[in-house]
Amino acid sequence: MGLTHKSTGRVLRESAESVTRVSDDEIIIALAGNPNVGKSTLFNELTGMHQHTGNWSGKTVEYAEGVCRYRGEKIRIIDLPGTYSLNPHSAEEAVAREFICSPVPDCVAVICDATCLERNLILVLQTIKEAKAVIVCVNLMDEARKKGIHIDTKRLSESLGVPVVGMSARSRCGISEVLELFLSSKKLNNCKKDFGDGNYAEIAERICRECVTRESQKREQRDRRIDRILTGKLTGFPIMFFLLALIFWITIVGANYPSELLSSFFFYIQELLLRFTVYIGAPEWLTSLLVLGIWRTLAWVVAVMLPPMAIFFPLFTLLEDLGYLPRVAFNLDRCFKRCDACGKQALTMCMGFGCNAAGVVGCRIIDSKRERLIAMLTNVFVPCNGRFPTIIALISIFFVTVSGTAGSLLSALILSAVIIFGILLTFIVSKLLSLTLLRGTPSSFTLELPPYRAPQVGKVILRSILDRTLYVLGRAAAVAAPAGLIIWLFANIEVGGITLLRHCTDFLDPFASLMGLDGVILFAFILALPANEIVIPIILMAYSSSGALIDYSGLSELGELLRANGWNSLTALCVIIFMLCHFPCSTTLMTIKKESGSIGWTILAAILPTLVGIILCMTVSAIARILG
């Protein structure tokens, strides 16, 4: 979800043409399969690379490539997008088909879900028709056994005329058989068996009658009971809200302690740095640049942003692993339909919590171009992980006066309200777009609701905390530190006796005060275009340079500094609103440019939320002024 592919170290390719054979010795295997069959899990197990696996359609939207060595042979594995068929009516299907039909892969391994083999066989049959050689891997055999489904893989192999392996990628069962088959894939021959009359669905049904036996429907009944609660008429929406608030509450409570620890750690290092620079006799400007510019920005991003992210993500991933997110899309689809949009937009919004750029890429799961553009343009109304920790900080400083459990509960509720406000804005703006620029009727919509699966709690928590931490630290070093340098220069280079920063903020001040902000805040938002994480550090630096120098070592000091510079709860409210609705970060904008292929839509994607933010902030501050 939130992880961009880059941060997980996967090699991505844009089109099949870029995958070519390097030597004749290497074996090239393409992994194909329906969405949600554990294709990515198998890919990870084989190549040992970390990748975030998910439960919804079209999770793997780009090529991913990995190398695995087995018995001295080099096997290159290409993970194709999850598709239901090879009929190229979506971008992913076209990509998959192009590669399967090309001469590059020695063999196509079609991964099937044993719990609904019949549907999966349609893709298998299509692939057998097109590919040079085919291996069928029936995954989730253990799940199927629990559901009382037995699959006769030998008989299936006879019926299909290609090798079939039963396996469970999660528990590494059957992996070595798969690898053995890969090794012999150059010798495999696709005899293109004649399956007799009928379309693929009918053939699949016939084959399944021979090879699959079902015992009981216990698990299915259990799933239906869970569904009756999670998607129930009366319970569906309250549970969604409750889970959202619960996750935020755990995040806020859990983040407090590590955040304080990290703060004091960074403060301690800052002291050391200061002493060190004095010791080596560095000039004052250098000390100020290093410590107040670079170090402090870095410290803010790590201490305040990292803990909430490292807690929020594992929790969200657990929900995803359970199979709950497609149910959210199921529950909310009606609302999206009212806005002439696609229910899968709920899934791309969930991805947006992690990173709006990832959310925009995720919009590829939406087939209709019109609905995809709506989802892309409105994704920014979901606060990404660069923004919601700041919102949490402002809420706890300005709106929560009680401490302890009551305080954290209140913070979680306010944050949930902010998120729901963002969701409402998404609906309103989506509707406005479909009434004006993106007119049209909703296209057909099908969404698979996968069976509930017990999440691998330990693995999920460990992996996502690790991934998140590395991601944030990497970003802190790559973006926050250089940005700190630039901001410091802005704040310290003087033109006509006034700093550059002051020139800019004074210029923006009149307009900003109409919005209930001040020039510094608005300028901070503009400077933070590369990464929303650094809005508050910029504000801090601007305020510090104008006299009131306070050492930042915790949220309460931050609150004091902000209040000393004229902030009140109205300012905080306007900042939160503008944090929710303003131009997306530069990475997201570039992604929108790439995905939409149009500068026009990209500019709109920047202007639209900014306009909404300006209007909302002005309205709120005007109302506050009238009320006194």
Partner 1 sequence: MIKYIHLNELETGQRANVVSVGGEAAMRQRFEDLGIVRGTEILCVMKSPLGDPVAYLIRGALIAIRREDSANILAELCLEAQDGTHA
What are the tokens at 351?
């991805």
Closer Cβ to partner 1, 202 or 210, answer by number = 202
Contact status, residue 169 vs residue 139, Cβ threshold 8 Å? yes
Torsion of CA 91, 377, 426, 441, to 10 degrees: -60
- The only residue of 46, 122, 351, 579 in contact with partner 1, by rule CB under 8 A: 122
Contact status, residue 388 vs residue 308, Cβ threshold 8 Å? yes
What are the tokens at 435?
């009434």
Stretch of residues binding partner 1 (CB under 8 A), selected from 8-16, 97-105, 114-122, 169-177: 114-122
Site string for partner 1, 397-436 (x = CB under 8 A): ----------------------------------------
Closer Cβ to partner 1, 87 or 619, answer by number = 87
HSE toward the beta carbon, residue 530, CA cutoff 13 A:
14
Closer Cβ to partner 1, 339 or 461, answer by number = 339
Closer Cβ to partner 1, 78 or 116, answer by number = 116
What are the tokens at 47?
């190549």
At 19 the three-state DSSP class reads coil
Q: Does 450 bind partner 1 (CB under 8 A)?
A: yes
In angstroms, the CA 495 to CA 7 distance is: 41
Q: Does 160 bind partner 1 (CB under 8 A)?
A: no
Residue 544: Cβ within 10 Å count: 18
* Strands 27-33, 107-113: pairing kind: parallel
Residue 620: Cβ-neighbour burial (10 angstroms; 0-12, 13-18, 19+): middle
Q: Does 383 bind partner 1 (CB under 8 A)?
A: no
Closer Cβ to partner 1, 71 or 334, answer by number = 334
Least separation in angstroms between residue 137's CB and partner 1 is: 18
Sorted by sequence, the CB contacts under 8 Å of residue 87 that are 6+ apart come out as 93, 97
Q: Does 231 bind partner 1 (CB under 8 A)?
A: yes
Q: Which of residues 277-336 bind partner 1 (CB under 8 A)?
A: 330-331, 333-335
What are the tokens at 191?
């005899």
- The only residue of 20, 191, 233, 600 in contact with partner 1, by rule CB under 8 A: 233
Phi/psi of residue 112, nearest 5 degrees? -120, 155
Least separation in angstroms between residue 442's CB and partner 1 is: 8
Pick from 600, 618, 619: nearest CA to 608 = 600
Contact status, residue 552 vs residue 541, Cβ threshold 8 Å? no
Least separation in angstroms between residue 572's CB and partner 1 is: 34
Closer Cβ to partner 1, 10 or 327, answer by number = 327
Contact status, residue 375 vs residue 23, Cβ threshold 8 Å? no
**Count of residues interacting with partner 1 (CB under 8 A):** 41
At 144 the three-state DSSP class reads helix
Q: Does 146 bind partner 1 (CB under 8 A)?
A: no
Contact status, residue 40 vs residue 51, Cβ threshold 8 Å? yes
- The only residue of 58, 174, 308, 343 in contact with partner 1, by rule CB under 8 A: 343
- The only residue of 33, 362, 386, 451 in contact with partner 1, by rule CB under 8 A: 451
Q: Which amino acid is at 116?
A: C
Q: Does 446 bind partner 1 (CB under 8 A)?
A: yes
Sorted by sequence, the CB contacts under 8 Å of residue 576 that are 6+ apart come out as 391, 394, 395, 418
Contact status, residue 586 vs residue 529, Cβ threshold 8 Å? yes
In angstroms, the CA 251 to CA 312 distance is: 6
In angstroms, the CA 30 to CA 504 distance is: 54
- The only residue of 177, 205, 509, 557 in contact with partner 1, by rule CB under 8 A: 205
Closer Cβ to partner 1, 209 or 275, answer by number = 209
Closer Cβ to partner 1, 403 or 446, answer by number = 446
Q: Does 9 bind partner 1 (CB under 8 A)?
A: no
Least separation in angstroms between residue 309's CB and partner 1 is: 31
Q: Does 237 bind partner 1 (CB under 8 A)?
A: yes
Site string for partner 1, 209-228 (x = CB under 8 A): ---------------x--xx
**DSSP assignment of 216-235:** --HHHHHHHHHHHHHT-TTT
Closer Cβ to partner 1, 237 or 285, answer by number = 237
Closer Cβ to partner 1, 335 or 425, answer by number = 335
Contact status, residue 138 vs residue 165, Cβ threshold 8 Å? yes
Least separation in angstroms between residue 569's CB and partner 1 is: 35
Site string for partner 1, 72-111 (x = CB under 8 A): ------------xx-x-x----------------------
What are the tokens at 396?
């706890």
Contact status, residue 329 vs residue 343, Cβ threshold 8 Å? yes
In angstroms, the CA 609 to CA 623 distance is: 21
Least separation in angstroms between residue 348's CB and partner 1 is: 17
Q: Does 62 bind partner 1 (CB under 8 A)?
A: no
Stretch of residues binding partner 1 (CB under 8 A), selected from 38-46, 115-123, 386-394, 479-487: 115-123
DSSP state of 80: P
What are the tokens at 382?
């979901």
What are the tokens at 334?
């009606």
At 453 the three-state DSSP class reads coil
Closer Cβ to partner 1, 436 or 441, answer by number = 441
In angstroms, the CA 204 to CA 206 distance is: 5
Least separation in angstroms between residue 479's CB and partner 1 is: 40
Q: Does 337 bind partner 1 (CB under 8 A)?
A: yes
Least separation in angstroms between residue 200's CB and partner 1 is: 8
Closer Cβ to partner 1, 29 or 122, answer by number = 122
Closer Cβ to partner 1, 179 or 349, answer by number = 349
Stretch of residues binding partner 1 (CB under 8 A), selected from 243-251, 301-309, 370-378, 442-450: 442-450
Pick from 246, 449, 244: nearest CA to 343 = 449
Could you give the residue ranges of the DSSP H alpha helices within 295-403? 296-300, 306-322, 325-338, 345-354, 356-362, 369-378, 388-398
Least separation in angstroms between residue 223's CB and partner 1 is: 8
Q: Does 449 bind partner 1 (CB under 8 A)?
A: yes
Q: Does 58 bind partner 1 (CB under 8 A)?
A: no
Closer Cβ to partner 1, 343 or 537, answer by number = 343
Q: Does 374 bind partner 1 (CB under 8 A)?
A: no
- The only residue of 117, 138, 521, 581 in contact with partner 1, by rule CB under 8 A: 117
- The only residue of 13, 74, 119, 219 in contact with partner 1, by rule CB under 8 A: 119
Binding site for partner 1 (CB under 8 A): 84-85, 87, 89, 115-119, 122, 199-202, 204-205, 224, 227-228, 231-234, 236-237, 330-331, 333-335, 337, 343, 442, 444-451
